[in-house]
Amino acid sequence: MDNNELKKHALNIRRNIVTMVYNAQSGHPGGSLGCADILTYLYFEEMNITKDNVAGKNRDKFVLSKGHCSPALYAVLHEAGLMDEDLNSFRQIDSKLQGHPNMNYVDGVDMSTGSLGQGISCGVGMAIANKLDKNDNRVYVLCGDGESEEGIVWEALMAACHYKLDNLCVIFDLNHLQIDGDVEDVVGPLPLFDKAKAFNANTIECDGHDFDSIRKAFATARQTKGVPTVIVANTTKGKGVSFMENNYAWHGAAPKEEEYKIAMEDLKEVD
């Protein structure tokens, strides 16, 4: 798939993210918009996941460790035709599309997440299981940079390197913001690249909004043997919506009607 096609899918995904959060008047748009390009590439180019195998075990798996960004996951599953749930039911009573993804309810959700830091541990276990089963399926985990302040993230990475999990790829979504502001003002988890490298992971940096950069990073990860790969993806929180970009206030806030109209105008397709 060429970059223009990927960009069109990413644009649709961003529109649906904002619409879901607006309709529910609840959710996390900032981080969801920021990781939309990464998820677009994973589901449309990188992973061996299709409508035919989405409910099965014999395929690549994805763990959204930053589970509050469920709008991005639901939007990409919908865009790829992998789930039948109505996006308008997001965060509604009795909806399967909960605020944090639940693997028991939605095809394509490979792990129930929301407790920050635990997704990478789940990914490590899944990657070990693949090794024991002697299959070639890969596991991808998306972590937030604020989430990387959790000690369990680094314990899991230590285990991944110890067990030589070259079928595991961890992506840090580095947008520099979390719910209370700049990550460096809260705890200060940087530099993520150097820390991951110190654990002996194959560590790559990429532009999380440039499909050529993303493509190169995942290709390198797939070719790497003997160690897991960590991709530090530089992103912009709220990407694509003018008033949300680089504004931590939109970590977990829903737009009102006028703000929604501005967002939709920002996300209007341009020839």
Do the beta carbons of residue 24 and residue 91 sit within 8 Å? Answer: yes
Query: Looking at the predicted structure, is the pLDDT value of residue 18 above 90?
Result: yes
Q: Which tokens sit at 174?
A: 């580095």
pLDDT at position 78 is: 98
pTM for this model (two decimals): 0.97
| Long-range Cβ contact pairs of 220-223 (< 8 A, separation 24 or more) | 221/169, 222/138
**Gap between the Cα atoms of 210 and 197, Å rounded:** 23
- Per-residue model confidence (pLDDT) at position 269: 81
Question: What SS3 state is found at 206?
Answer: strand
Cα 171 to its chain centre, rounded Å, is 8
Distances (CA, A) of 167 to 35, 158, 226: 22, 15, 9
Share of the chain above pLDDT 90, in %: 97
Q: Where are the chain's structural domains?
A: 3-266
User: Between residues 119 and 270, which one has the greater pLDDT?
Assistant: 119
Please tell me the number of Cα atoms within 13 Å of 243 on its side-chain side.
13
Separation between Cα atoms, residue 55 and residue 51, nearest integer Å = 8
Crossing angle between the packed helical segments 3-24 and 211-223, to the nearest 10 degrees = 100
The CATH superfamily of 3-266 is: Thiamin diphosphate (ThDP)-binding fold, Pyr/PP domains (3.40.50.970)
Any idea what DSSP says for residue 42?
Answer: I
Distance of alpha carbon 56 from alpha carbon 183, whole angstroms: 38
What is the pLDDT averaged over residues 219-248? Answer: 98
Q: How many CB atoms lie within 10 A of CB 249?
A: 13
Across the chain, mean pLDDT equals: 97
- What is the per-residue pLDDT across 44-85, written as a single tens digit (0 to 9) for each? 999 999 999 999 989 999 999 999 999 999 999 999 999 999
pLDDT band (50, 70, 90) for residue 135: very high
| Token code pair at residue 39 | 């998820």
Beta bridge partners of residue 232, listed in sequence order: 172, 205
Contact 169, 133 (CB under 8 A): no
Rg (the chain; Cα; Å)? 17
Residue 270 confidence class, pLDDT cut points 50, 70, 90? low
User: Which pair of tokens denotes residue 198?
Assistant: 């110190």
Rounded Cα gap, residues 121 and 153, in angstroms: 7
Q: What is the mean pLDDT of residues 246-263?
A: 98
